[in-house]
Amino acid sequence: MKTLVALVDFTDVSSKVLKQTHDLASALGSQVILLHVVPREMPAATYGGEVPLIPVEPSQETIQTDQRRLDALVESLTKLGLDARALQFKGPVAETVLAETSRLNADLVIMGSHHHSALYNLFIGSVTADVLKRASIPVLVVPCDVPAQEKT
């Protein structure tokens, strides 16, 4: 595998995605591309005010902050001896991931799963499920920790 694309969203699962990416890239001698899609922001509601729940484009400050975080992750991987770079985009997450992995001729996508409830997935959706359904290349899903009450 020449090119591994790892999706990072700066949540807790991102560290697990990076660990899996490091392990695979080290073993296979692969190039790593960290991919981050800056999500749209939900406007904050104020007491007594009606705010429509229409996402707005991320602020320039959010974009710059995310880019600095992404650059730090790339630096940590390169210090470990990996050939790594980062790409950041705005837009719909699943569509952007699918388009960019195709454009990059990626061999594998590595992404996390957040274990949202069925109700959340019904109304909001799941990027992981959408990518899994539509990807033309293998996808490795790294689970986040399962809450204690769900463990058996």
Query: Would you say residue 47 has pLDDT above 60?
Result: no
Could you tell me which residues come within 8 angstroms of residue 56 by beta carbon, excluding any fewer than 6 positions away?
Answer: 40, 41, 42, 43
Residue with tokens 């949540």: 11
The full set of domains in the chain, from first to last, is: 3-36+59-137 (3.40.50.620)
Mean pLDDT of the chain, nearest integer: 84
Task: Answer yes or no: is pLDDT of 16 > 60.
Answer: yes
How many CB atoms are closer than 10 A to CB 49?
Answer: 8
> What b-and-e string marks burial along 85-107, b requiring 16 or more CB atoms within 10 Å of the CB?
ebebeeeebbebbbebbeeeebb
Q: Which residue has the higher pLDDT, 110 or 40?
A: 110
pLDDT tens, position by position, 82-103: 999 999 999 888 999 999 999 9
